[in-house]
Amino acid sequence: MKKVYIKTWGCQMNEYDSSKIVDLLQKNQNCIITKESSNADILLLNTCSIREKAQEKVFHQLGRWKHLKKNNNNLIIGVGGCVASQEGEYIIERAPYVDIVFGPQTFHRLPEMLNKFYKTKNAIVDVSFPKLEKFKSFPKTISHSPSAYISIMEGCNKYCAFCIVPYTRGEEVSRPSIDILLEISELAAQGVREITLLGQNVNAYRWFDEKSGKIYTFANLLRLVASITGIDRIRFITSHPIEFKDDLIEVYKDTPKLASFLHLPVQSGSDRILNLMKRSHTISYYKSIIEKLTKARPNIQISSDFIVGFPGETKYDFDQTINFISEINFDMSFSFLYSPRPGTPATYLPDKVKEEEKKYRLYILQNIINKQAKQWSEKMLGTIQRVLVDKILHDNESISGKTENNRVVVFNGSSNNIGKFVDVKITDSNIHFLKGKLINVENDINL
């Protein structure tokens, strides 16, 4: 049996892809997973190209692995993910000790690539974009957790000026709804209680069923997932404001299984910067979504993404963003310094924001967001929260799980509670997690 070590960077989609790579190699290559790179027969790096100097980060990691290959001529090194898609054959040129380069849409061919490499010993590069082919190649999903991620679509058609995703993962393509529902039903039969639907632009999901002539929207899909016995909580990431239609807001009104927490990236509080970013929505439009959502689900909490220091961002633009954050009162948002990605339109915009000023603005913005997140956590003190228990901690006396608004809670309990929804009274909070006291455990029969 060959030992495989896989290192994953980036978003939850990459984590999902890596889990599928593991399934494929276990089934088709008789592989086992090792946590030690020094013990591996196959080293795989699943990369992300969203942030600055992503390529250099990859080559630095490969440089560390190069020494392992010097001691083991039979060691195979593979690079996948978005940097692989972006750089292609250049990875082999710069790091000739790399044997296989595969993209986000071709990792399902990895067993075949390995077989070919064993025979020829020639480097293989496949970063093409076959639509939906990979989903048909996956073995049956096996879950060891009460929570699971399901990819429902790939790619993005929005072409925001700063974003490299359409170039590395391709344009939007949706999986057949029947395949998604079948996979989730199989997971529910294994004890999965919470599903997170994944996509680069998840609410752009569209599937045309030729047999019925019906078009399934994301709202349709959410209701169908909610009808599956055993699934009691549904989340999704990541969505785009321009695709957040009224039919999706209606789901929040009538589908209690849909979590009262939404991550909806806005990127800036300035319309001028949004226009330069090619985001195709305005601040007033974004606010109208939040207003409708809070009417449909009054207790909903919102998180977002912000880019600081986008080319041409003035102090006035930044102040608008700060005012916007204060007005909406976001929870647990993510923020980043702008970094140019190769080939994206924003790369060619004049960048008049000095690096020191960018960092100062980021500090101010993150300080406000952290204060808001802390306030949201403090509001939960003394409340009873419904928590899905998913882990037993190292002391074997504490367990943890997530609330509906995505907070981790630690409390005393046993392994018998894993996979169950429990009621927990929140007793303490800090930056990273909440503490609580177990109040009630559901019956073994699904609620």
Q: Reading across the β-sheet that carries 124-126, which strands appear in turn? A: 31-33, 2-8, 42-47, 76-81, 100-102, 124-126
State the burial class of residue 224 (Cβ atoms within 10 Å of its Cβ: 0-12, 13-18, 19+). Answer: middle
- Which amino acid makes up residue 422? V
Q: CA–CA separation, 178 vs 167, rounded Å?
A: 28
Nearest CA among 291, 360, 378 for reference residue 327: 291
Query: Six-digit token pair at 260?
Result: 């009262």
Q: CA–CA separation, 274 vs 203, rounded Å?
A: 20
Q: CA–CA separation, 240 vs 91, rounded Å?
A: 32
SS (H, E, C) 358-421: HHHHHHHHHHHHHHHHHHHHHHCCCCEEEEEEEEECCCCCEEEEECCCCCEEEEECCHHHCCCE
Residue 443's pLDDT is what?
65
Nearest CA among 400, 278, 267 for reference residue 345: 278
Q: CA–CA separation, 273 vs 355, rounded Å?
A: 18
pLDDT along the chain (447 residues), means of 10: 94 91 92 94 93 85 94 94 94 96 95 95 95 86 91 93 92 94 96 96 93 92 98 96 96 97 97 97 98 96 96 97 97 91 90 91 96 94 96 88 95 93 95 92 56
Residue 445's pLDDT is what?
38
- Which amino acid makes up residue 55? Q
Can you give the pTM of this predicted structure? 0.92
CB distance 48 to 54 below 8 Å: yes
Residue 209's pLDDT is what?
87
Residue 447's pLDDT is what?
37
**101-131: b (≥16 Cβ within 10 Å) or e:** bbbbbbbbbbbebbeebeeeeebbbbbebee
